[in-house]
Structure 1
Amino acid sequence: MASIQKRGNYWRVQIRRTGYPTLSSTFDTKAEATLWAAQQEKTLSEQTPERVVQRLRDQDYRLQDAFDRYIVEILPGKKPTTQERDKGSIRRLCRDYGEVALAKIDGQTLSGMIRQWQSKGLGANSIRLYLAHLSHLYNIARKEWGMVELINPVELVRKPKLPQGRDRRLVGDEEERLLNVCQAVNPELADIVIIAIETAMRQGEILGLEWRHVNWLDHTCYLPDTKNGTARVVPLSVRAEEALQRQQQRATGKDGKVWKYTNDGMRASYNKAVKRAGIVGLTFHDLRHEATSRFCEKGIPMMTVQAITGHKSTQMLKRYTHISGKTLVDAVRGS
Structure 2
Amino acid sequence: MEGKLVGVHKVNVKLADGTTATYYYAWRGKGAPRIMSKPGTKAFTQEYIRLTRDRPTKAVEGTISSLIEDFRATAKYKALAPSTRKDYERMFGLIKEVFGVIPVAAVEARGSRRRFLEWRDTMKDAPRSADMHIGLLSRLFAWAKDNEIILRNPLERVEKLHEGSRRDTVWTMEQINTVLTRAAPHIRSVACMALWTMQRQADLLTMPMIAFDGERVSIKQGKTGARVRITAAPDILPILNEAKEAKRQRVLVNSFGQSWTSSGFKASWRKEMAKLGISGVTFHDLRGTAITYAYAHLDRSHEEKIRLIAEISGHSREDAEGIIRRHYLAGQEVIDAISRGTR
- 1:245–1:84 distance in 2 versus 1, CA, 3 Å: same
Aligned pairs, number = 264
The aligned residue for residue 188 of structure 1 is 186
CA contact 2:124–2:161 (8 Å) conserved in 1: no
Q: Which residue of 2 aligns with 1:284?
A: 283
Shift of 1:124: 5.4
RMSD: 3.2
The structure having more radius of gyration, on CA atoms, is 1
Q: Tell me by how many angstroms 1:99 deviates.
A: 1.9
Q: Percent identity?
A: 18
For 1:318, the equivalent position in structure 2 comes to 325
Q: Structure 1: how far apart are the matches of 2:273 and 2:337?
A: 30
- Match of residue 294 from structure 2: 295
What residue is the counterpart of 1:8 in the other structure? Answer: none
Which residue among 92, 95, 98 is the counterpart of 1:96?
98
1:112-261 counterparts in 2 under 5 A? 112-121=115-124, 125-144=128-147, 147=149, 150-155=151-156, 157-160=158-161, 162-171=163-172, 173-183=174-184, 187-217=185-215, 220-249=216-245, 251=246, 253-254=247-248, 256-260=249-253, 261=260
Structure 1 spans left out of the alignment, 5+ residues: 1-59
TM-superposed deviation, 1:116: 3.2
Pair 1:68 & 2:76 matched: no
Task: Verify the 8 A CA contact 1:209 1:223 in the aligned structure 2.
Answer: yes
Give, in angstroms, the shift of residue 112 of structure 1.
Answer: 3.8
What's the TM-score, normalizing by structure 2?
0.66
**Once the 2 structures are TM-superposed, how far is the Cα of residue 235 of structure 1 from its aligned partner?**
3.4
CA contact (8 A) 2:194 2:287 kept: yes
Is residue 107–residue 156 contact of structure 1 (8 Å, CA) maintained in 2?
no
SS at match of 2:186: helix
In structure 1, C-alpha distance between the alignment counterparts of 2:323 and 2:110, rounded to whole Å: 27
Render the CA deviation track for 1:175-223: whole Å, top value 9, x for unaligned. 232233323xxx2221111111222211111111111111323xx2111
Deviation at 1:320, TM superposition (A): 4.3
Whole-angstrom CA distance in 1 between matches of 2:196 and 2:174: 17
**CA–CA distance in 2 between the matches of 1:168 and 1:204?**
20
Deviation per CA, 1:88-119, whole angstroms, max 9, x where unpaired? Answer: 22112111111222222356432342343234
- Contact 2:211 2:217 (8 Å CA) reproduced: yes
Query: What is the alpha-carbon distance in structure 2 between the residues aligned to residue 331 and residue 317 of structure 1?
Result: 14
Q: 1:328 aligns with which of 308, 332, 336?
A: 336
- 1:237-256 CA distances to partner (integer Å, 9 max, x unpaired)? 2112233224444x2x25x2
From the superposition, tell whether residues 81 and 133 of structure 1 become closer, same or farther in structure 2 (CA, over 3 Å). Answer: same
Deviation at 1:170, TM superposition (A): 2.8
Unpaired runs of 5+ residues, structure 2, are 1-60, 254-259
Secondary structure at 2:230's aligned position in 1? strand
User: Which whole-Å CA distance do the structure 2 matches of 1:293 and 1:82 have between them?
Assistant: 26
Q: Which amino acid aligns with 2:280?
A: G
Shift of 1:273: 1.5
1:152 is paired with a residue whose SS is coil
Does the CA-based 8 Å contact 2:169-2:328 persist in structure 1? no
Task: Decide whether aligned partners of structure 1 residues 233 and 72 sit closer, same or farther in structure 2, where only a CA change above 3 A counts.
Answer: same
**2-side partners of 1:204 and 1:311: how far apart?**
16
Distance 1:271 1:137, change over 3 A: closer
1:130–1:120 distance in 2 versus 1, CA, 3 Å? closer
- Quote the Cα distance in structure 2 between the aligned partners of 1:72 and 1:172: 46
Q: Distance in 1 between matches of 2:261 and 2:81?
A: 20
